[in-house]
Structures are given as C-alpha cells and as structure tokens.
Amino acid sequence: MTEPRSPINTPPEEVQTSQSPNNIVPEIPLEIISEEEMAIIEAAFAASRSLVKSPLRASSSPAHFQNNVRSIQSITLLSKRSLSSCSSQSDSLVVDVEDSGRLMSSQKRNRVVASLLSRYRRKRGLAVTDITATEWCEKKMEYTLLCGKREKTKAMEAGSSRHEELEEEVIKKVKVRVDSAEDVWALKFLNFIVGANQLLFDGLTRELPLVGFAEGVWMVGVIDEIRMPEGQSDSYPKLVDTKTRATASLPREPQRRNGRLQLMCYKHLWDSLVADDFPSRQFFEFFSLNPNHILSAEIRERTAKCGFAAETLTDMLRYSRNTWCMLPPAHEQLLLRYEFQGDQSLLGEDQFEYDLDWVKGQIKCSLEVWRGEREASYTPEDERWKCWSCKFASECPASNSCSPRRKDTEG
C-alpha cells in the first residue's frame, strides 16, 4: 500500500505481465516487412553469399577480418531482429552491411539501411540519456546500439544504489500488475500526477517521469529531483540532478557540459508539458496505443484511491493534462550536484542558467545522427581521454590517437 501522495513506481524489470492460461502458446501475429527493411535483409544475404564464394586470403590480417565480419543473430519475417551483432560465432560469419563501407558506397548504404531512430527507438521514444550519450561520443553511442551496452561497473552500480536511496527518502514503491502497454503508460502518467501533487504540497519530489514532443521527436526521461523554493512568491520548480563520483574530485568540463545538457532537456520537456503542448493523437499513434483500452483493475483501483477514477488511457491522459496546467514552468536556474561515492559527501555544485537555443541546437545535432542524415562522428581530439573507459576502444580508430592514461581518471 502507499501513502496518499506516494507515487506508484514500477520499473520495467519489475512489471508483471499476464500469462496465457493452461500453458497455451498464443498465436504469433504476422508483421508486414516494408520494402526498405526487405532491402536490408536481401543485402545481408547477398553479402554472406559473396563471402562464401570468395574466402578470405591467408594474407588477411585478424584485424582486417574482425572489422569486416560480423554475425547476424536471426532474420525472420515474423519477428524482426537486429541485422548486426558483435558476437563471435564462427559458424555464422556474415558481413555487417551497416558498418562495412567496403561493401557499398555511403550514398547507396544510406538509401538501404534504416535510421538508428527507426531501428532502435521505434514505438519507444528517444530517451534524454540517448541525447546525452550522443553528445558524449556519437561513435560510442552507435557502437552501443549495434553491439549492446557494456556490463555495469562497480561505480555504475554504486551510482544506481545511491539514486534508489534518495528516491526512497520521499517515495514508497509499490508493485502493480500490468496487462498491456496501455497499463504501463497509465502508470507513468499516474506517477507524474502523484509526484506533481507531492511537489505542490511538500515542496519536493524525486524520480518524476516525463514524456513530451520536442524538435519533431517523442522524448522520455526521468527527473532526479524537483524542488519548490521556500519563502518565495510566484515560485518556479527547480530541477536538480545528482551525479555520484568514484573519485573525490569534480569532473572535467565535458562531463559537466553533458550533465547540463541532460538537465536542460528535462526543462525543455517540462516546459512543453505545462504549456499543454502535447499532441495526444500523435502520442497514441506513435506508441501504438488504444486510447479507449480499459485499464487493469489494479490501476483503476489505485486511481480511485488517489481521488480520481480513470477507466481508460484517455481518462488518465486527461487527468495528467489537468495536472500539467496547474504547474508553472521550471526555474531558469538548474542545479547539478556531485557526490563522492565513498562517503556520500558533497564534492560541489554546478548552478547554471537555462539556454533554450543551445539545448535545441544540441538535440537537433544528435537527431542528425539518429535520423541517418549524417555519419556518427568520433569524439574531438582534445577529448580523446574518454576512450580510456570505452569498451570499444580496441575497435575504434579514434582511440589510436589517445594519449596515455593518467592516474587521475574520471569516475
């Protein structure tokens, strides 16, 4: 159970989905493949046939072989899969048509290969962290999509644990059963409504989910913390993000810039919501949601306890819009906090002004890569120290120009 103003937070990995009774295998729905996607599949098969007909010469180096050969996990007309994989299965060697410029010209490849946005964020929306990852290093972001995320380090796990501690100080989590995508989105909206009420009544809330339409794309994110300044008339909520550090030192400027971009993206989404700039019809269409879908019994029960009865996702969206209209724009001053993971001591704070033109320019620059309008760039030469902690450094040409690793590396 939750307190009246405690949000219901159900992380994706904790979502419980309904199972088919009597272990009956549900019918697999057919999905029509577009001409563009069919072209990708045909290009992959053509590349694999050419590889079989023309074996690699003995003089080919292992590095040359690794850069040109990839394995495709599966290609099926019933369930689309990624056409590239970084697994090293010796019995399934196929050239990656997305990565190998030796197979086709860049102009031809751009016509054949779908954009990263349509391939990896279709019906999901672009996360704010996708934007910050692109700003950090476009090539690393691309490699991560193609090859998978790196395993969590101890520093990353410590950061996640700290954020959970901060959240639990003001929020009590409750697992709620969901039976559909509409239920999942209903919970996100409910979390926002309850969190906004907590902000207005208590002056503080954390882990607030956002969804909005910005620069022509749907974006999602979760704000670490929102504060309502005390003792001020016409108060504007202040957005705060806490970064934990493995070393007891403040980060370099590129890391601060990346954190500032993240908070500015959140304010950009927040301000668009409170201005009621939310195209509902496009929202339902993009995420393939049924606006009249009846929500699960548990969700309807939770909404009733919160003071409003929502039967459908349309109802929930309407109540969310009513909440947005009660909120003011976010404060122009944003705050980044840096904590040392060792003892949770405050290393410093970075308070800065919101720059709408700059953040819109950064988003548009990132979207050029996500939409396939240009190739992903390597990190600038003066920031090649980022390669020290990149798992793709051995395969990335940019890392060859990286200077020797210093002892005072960033956490």
| Domains and their CATH numbers in the chain | 35-114 (no CATH), 123-401 (3.90.320)
H helix runs in 230-375, sequence order: 253-274, 280-286, 297-305, 313-326, 356-370
What is the rounded CA–CA span in Å between residue 170 and residue 199?
11
Whether 213 and 305 have beta carbons less than 8 Å apart is answered as no
In this prediction, residue 374 carries a pLDDT of: 95
Check if the beta carbon of residue 338 is closer than 8 Å to that of residue 346: yes
Q: What does the alpha-carbon distance between residue 182 and residue 165 come to, in Å, rounded to a whole number?
A: 29
Q: Rounded CA gap, 245 and 239, in Å?
A: 20
pLDDT recorded at residue 180: 95
Q: Does the model's pTM come out above 0.75? A: no
Structure tokens at 81: 């899969």
Residue 53: the pLDDT is 40
Report which secondary-structure segment, H or E, holds 346. Answer: strand 346-353
* Angstrom distances, CA of residue 11 to CA of 6, 209, 222: 15, 11, 12
What distances in angstroms separate CA 303 from CA 1, 175, 292, 387, one per listed residue? Answer: 13, 14, 16, 48
What are the residue ranges of helices labelled H in 54-180?
A: 62-68, 106-112, 116-120, 128-136, 138-147, 154-168
End-to-end CA separation in angstroms for the chain: 38
Of 5, 3, 10, the C-alpha closest to 176 is: 10
Q: Please say whether the beta carbons of 44 and 75 come within 8 A.
A: yes
Measured over the CA atoms of residue 163, residue 168, residue 171 and residue 177, the dihedral's sign is positive
Instruction: Output the CA angle 111-114-117, nearest 5 degrees.
Output: 135
Q: Which token pair is 127? A: 């996360």
Residue reference for tokens 């590889």: 51
Residue-level pLDDT at 401: 60
Q: Is 203 left (phi over 0), alpha (psi -120 to 50) or beta?
A: left
What pairing do the DSSP bridges indicate for beta strands 126-127 and 204-214? unpaired
Could you tell me where the beta strands, DSSP code E, fall in 215-284? 217-227, 238-245
DSSP helix/strand/coil, 147: helix
pLDDT at 76: 27
**404: left (phi > 0), else alpha (psi -120 to 50), else beta?**
beta
Would you tell me how many other CB atoms lie within 10 Å of the CB of residue 99?
Answer: 20
Question: In Å, how far are 73, 86, 97 from 90, measured between CA atoms?
Answer: 12, 12, 18
Contact call for residues 159 and 341 (beta carbons, < 8 A): yes
Nearest to 266 by CA among 227, 325, 224, 319: 224
Q: Is 336 helix (H, G, I), strand (E, B) or coil?
A: strand
Q: What is the pLDDT of residue 69?
A: 30
Signed CA dihedral, 17, 18, 24, 29: sign only: negative
For residue 244 the two structure tokens come to 């934990």
**In tens digits, what is the pLDDT along the chain, a chain of 411 residues?**
334 344 444 443 343 333 334 444 444 344 444 545 555 555 544 444 444 443 333 333 334 333 333 332 322 222 323 323 333 333 322 223 333 333 233 443 443 358 999 999 999 999 999 999 999 999 999 999 998 866 666 666 766 776 677 766 776 767 788 899 999 999 999 999 999 999 999 999 999 999 999 999 999 999 999 999 887 767 899 999 999 999 999 999 999 999 999 999 999 999 999 999 999 999 999 999 999 999 999 999 999 998 898 999 999 999 999 999 999 999 999 999 999 999 989 999 999 999 999 999 999 999 999 999 999 999 999 999 999 888 898 888 887 666 555 433 333
| pLDDT confidence of residue 235 | 87
The residue with tokens 């007909």 is 53
